């Protein structure tokens, strides 16, 4: 038996190992597991400065960046968290905004597109670098050099740079060693400054 067929087969196998499906990220059925979700994470929703990733049954993920149409996101979010609590505010500083609250995470929409999110304490939501509401603020200050927003008109507002180098903001409650992360947010939100 000659080695040539075996070498060709080995080369084909190695070449196929590095290929990643280039499907659009809003098509959940074709998203590769390498979409930024680590197998060690325990979140149902992984949030970052650019959008949200939902962990789905069967090891699939749904990744939605800001600008994704609402109708693409809602069926996936409902599979993970159940039916949302919908609301709307026409007086937001950024203009009229609609909200879909799925337990601890609220997705913000304008003109039918995802523009922001806000996460509160509750099971199943964490950032792409494993930060979550309810945890001690001192841990975030040490690990991610979180800093209070000195010129903010909103009490307890802070900012930190996530692992990808982009800013995520949030609010802290309490003081000193008892201070904890009350909420996190990115993108457009409805705050009155």
**Cα pseudo-dihedral 113, 119, 120, 126, rounded to 10:** 150
Cα–Cα distance for residue pair 188/193, rounded to 1 Å: 13
Tokens 């949302």 correspond to 84
Query: pLDDT of 105-140, one tens digit each?
Result: 999 999 999 999 999 998 889 998 889 999 989 888
18 pLDDT above the threshold of 90:
no
Question: What pLDDT, on a 0 to 100 scale, did the predictor assign at position 158?
Answer: 93
For the chain, the domains span: 22-187
State how far Cα 127 lies from the chain centre. 6
Put simply, whether the predicted model's pTM sits higher than 0.85 gets the answer no
Half-sphere exposure of 97 (CA within 13 A, CB side): 21
């Amino acid at each position: 038996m000659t080695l040539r067929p075996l070498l060709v087969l080995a080369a084909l196998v190695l070449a196929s190992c590095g290929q990643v499906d280039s499907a659009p990220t809003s098509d959940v059925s074709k998203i590769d597991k390498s979409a930024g979700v680590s197998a060690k994470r325990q979140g149902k929703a992984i949030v970052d400065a650019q959008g949200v990733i939902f962990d789905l049954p069967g090891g699939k993920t749904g990744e939605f960046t800001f600008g994704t149409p609402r109708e693409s996101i809602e069926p996936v979010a409902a599979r993970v968290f159940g039916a949302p609590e919908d609301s709307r505010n026409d007086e937001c500083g950024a203009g009229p905004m609609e909200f879909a609250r799925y337990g601890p995470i609220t997705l913000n929409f304008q003109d039918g597109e995802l523009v922001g999110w806000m996460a509160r304490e509750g099971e199943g939501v964490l950032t792409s670098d494993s930060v979550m509401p309810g945890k001690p603020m001192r841990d975030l200050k040490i690990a991610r050099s979180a800093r209070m927003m000195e010129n903010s008109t909103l009490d307890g507002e802070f900012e930190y740079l996530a692992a990808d180098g982009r800013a995520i903001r949030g609010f802290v409650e309490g003081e000193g060693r008892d201070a904890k992360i009350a909420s996190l947010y990115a993108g457009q939100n409805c705050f009155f400054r």
